Every structure is written in C-alpha cells, then in structure tokens.
Chains A and B, each alone.
Chain A
C-alpha cells in the first residue's frame, strides 16, 4: 500500500454504470513520496493489478482498479496520470455463455458474476449482498461481456429494469430502486455554481 500525493483528482460515480477516477501527480513528487514509503514508481504502476482507495474527510468515496497510467514528459514538467475504474470494470474483461429462462433479473446478474468468479484466477472477491427480485427474464448469452450484460438489464436500459451497484467494499446489490427521496437537500443560489437547463 502506498499513499499518493495528488495534484488534481476527479471521481465520477454513475448510477448503473462503471465509476471512474483520475489522479494527476507530479512525477518527481510521486517518486520522492514512494521512496519514503520504501517502494518505487515502477513497482506501483507495473507489477500487477493495482487498486486505489480515495478518501474524503475520512469517508471512502471510491475504490477501483488502475487502468492505463500515462506519463507526459516535457522539458519543464513530468506528470503522471492514473486513471481508475470501479470493480464492475473487471467484468468488461470477463464473458459468459450462460442461459437462463424465466429467471429473476438480479439472479441472472449475480449468476453470471458468480460463475465467472468460480474460474481459477477469476475472482476479485465480489460478494452477494441484497439481490431483490424485480422481473423474470430470458437470457441466452453467447460469449457476452458480463459488465455490459448486467448494465443492459438495468433501469437505464429496459422497462422494469433494476438498479445495481458493486460497492466500494465489493458487495453486489440489486434493487428496484437504489437511493431515496431527500427533499430537504436543496440546491439553490447558495450552493449552485453553474447549471445546464434544457
């Protein structure tokens, strides 16, 4: 585990999709910080699947997998960009040919995750949380990408679809609706910096 000194940080969480994060770091500062932690930039970036935990005021707001780090070099600065994707992105690299008939959509989603994780070296430790029954569906997968197959059963893509997430703690949850009504949270001219109204 290494602590990273970020210059800029972006975290994007999307309902029923893959979450992303990006960290930009001055290379020299990163190198100095990692040496102090008895490791190297090369070790952090290239020696296997790397994960990140991003904390805001003691609250974890993102955990995920390092994607494709890039280093931009000029005669005035060397900067490292570290892009991350949430756990769901791992299942963009896993495929399914399972077949389901008249099966609850959440059970299908967990079924294809669970089958994929049963393969040697195929588990990143996602566990089954609350998987509420929503709607029975038929699915005949044929080497379909698992992440996409799950997203296509979500409420953003089909009528009566479910909401789902793989949380920062790798718990897979399905519900008819995730989130709640919070009318007391009011964004007005005190908090709004900009708006798009269409």
Chain B
C-alpha cells in the first residue's frame, strides 16, 4: 500500500532514442485522486509491438493501482488443501474483512509431521 502503488506505467520496448517503441498508461482518476501520480518504468527491450506494451501497462496498473488488503495467509489443513487450488476464488474472513480473494500461489510446507499451507492472493 502507500508507495507500492503504481498509477502510471511506462513500458519501454525495442530501440533507442526517438526510435524506441514505448507506451504510457495512467490509472483512472478514481485511483490517481486516492494515490496521486506514482510512476514506474519497465524495460521490455525485446518487444516491438506498441499494443503489447500497452497491454503490459494496463495489466501493471490493474494489479497495482489500488490496495489489495489481504496479501497472504498461512493456514492449517482443517480445510482439505486439495479442495482448492491456484486460480480459485476463496472466502477470507479475518478481523472485519470478509471477501473473496483469488489464489495466486499455494505452497505446502511439511516438516516433522506438521503441515502448513501458504496462500498468496492477487
């Protein structure tokens, strides 16, 4: 949150100087009003298509233009870990939060008979 937010994405593609392929996308005022202008430059030197850079910029904004709230959990196996997987939307109830979150990463950590499942969310 805070200064990890991105509201303007600059994608730098193939070439240099005035020949360089570039794309710039800015988040909507919904987000720039909340988080101000926060820029990020990303180098994609193998990309020669502007539309590819624009798609990358849009995605970067989508993932980073607002706060995500719950970013990760470690859970026990009270719920069968094979009943959910990456890509699924599951419910998280913690403190006053109660919402669906989509699983980006799922990990198993097993040691001396104990098992902890790690979940990271989009």
How far apart are the CA atoms of A80 and B100 in the complex, in Å?
40
Q: Which residues of B contact A188 (CB under 8 A)?
A: 92-94
Question: A27-35, A122-130, A190-198: which lies at the B interface?
Answer: A190-198
Q: How many residues belonging to A are interface residues under a CB distance threshold of 8 Å? A: 51
Question: Which residues between 41 and 55 of chain B lie within 8 Å of chain A, taking CB atoms?
Answer: 46, 48-49, 51-52, 54-55
A187-B91 contact in complex given A8-B110, A56-B82, C-beta closer than 8 Å: yes
| Closest chain A CB from B17 CB (angstroms) | 21
Asked whether, in the complex, the Cβ of A158 is within 8 Å of the Cβ of B107, the reply is no
Q: Which residues of A contact B54 (CB under 8 A)?
A: 159
| Closest chain B CB from A150 CB (angstroms) | 14
Asked whether, in the complex, the Cβ of B87 is within 8 Å of the Cβ of A163, the reply is yes
Q: Which residues of B contact A13 (CB under 8 A)?
A: 85-86, 105-107
Interface size bucket, B side?
Answer: 35 or more
- Selected from B4, B56, B91, B102, the residue in CB contact (under 8 A) with A186 is B91
A157, A185, A187 pick with most chain B CB within 10 angstroms = A187
Q: Which residues of B contact A157 (CB under 8 A)?
A: 56, 59
Q: Which residues of B contact A193 (CB under 8 A)?
A: 73-76, 116
Asked whether, in the complex, the Cβ of B105 is within 8 Å of the Cβ of A195, the reply is no
Question: Which residues between 160 and 198 of chain A lie within 8 Å of chain B, taking CB atoms?
Answer: 160-161, 163, 177-198
Report if A140 contacts B (CB, 8 A).
Answer: yes
Q: Mark contacts of A81-101 with chain B using CB atoms, 8 A cut-off: 1 yes-contact digit, 0 otherwise.
A: 000000000000000000000
Closest to A10 in B: B109
Asked whether, in the complex, the Cβ of A179 is within 8 Å of the Cβ of B56, the reply is no
Q: Mark contacts of A133-168 with chain B using CB atoms, 8 A cut-off: 1 yes-contact digit, 0 otherwise.
A: 000011110101000000010011111110100000
Identify 28 residue pairs between A and B in the complex whose beta-carbon atoms are under 8 Å apart, listed by A's number. A6-B110, A8-B109, A9-B108, A9-B109, A11-B108, A13-B86, A15-B86, A139-B49, A140-B48, A157-B56, A160-B55, A178-B86, A178-B87, A179-B86, A180-B88, A182-B88, A183-B91, A186-B90, A186-B91, A186-B92, A187-B94, A191-B76, A192-B75, A194-B74, A195-B74, A196-B71, A196-B73, A197-B94
Given contact pairs A11-B107, A157-B59, A192-B94, a sample of 14 additional A-B residue pairs in the complex whose CB atoms are under 8 Å apart: A8-B111, A9-B109, A59-B82, A138-B51, A161-B59, A178-B87, A182-B89, A183-B89, A187-B79, A191-B75, A191-B79, A196-B72, A197-B69, A198-B71
Which B residues have a C-beta under 8 Å from some C-beta of A?
1, 4, 46, 48-49, 51-52, 54-56, 58-59, 62-63, 67-76, 78-79, 81-95, 97, 100, 102-112, 116, 118-119
Which A residues have a C-beta under 8 Å from some C-beta of B?
6-15, 56-57, 59, 61, 137-140, 142, 144, 152, 155-161, 163, 177-198
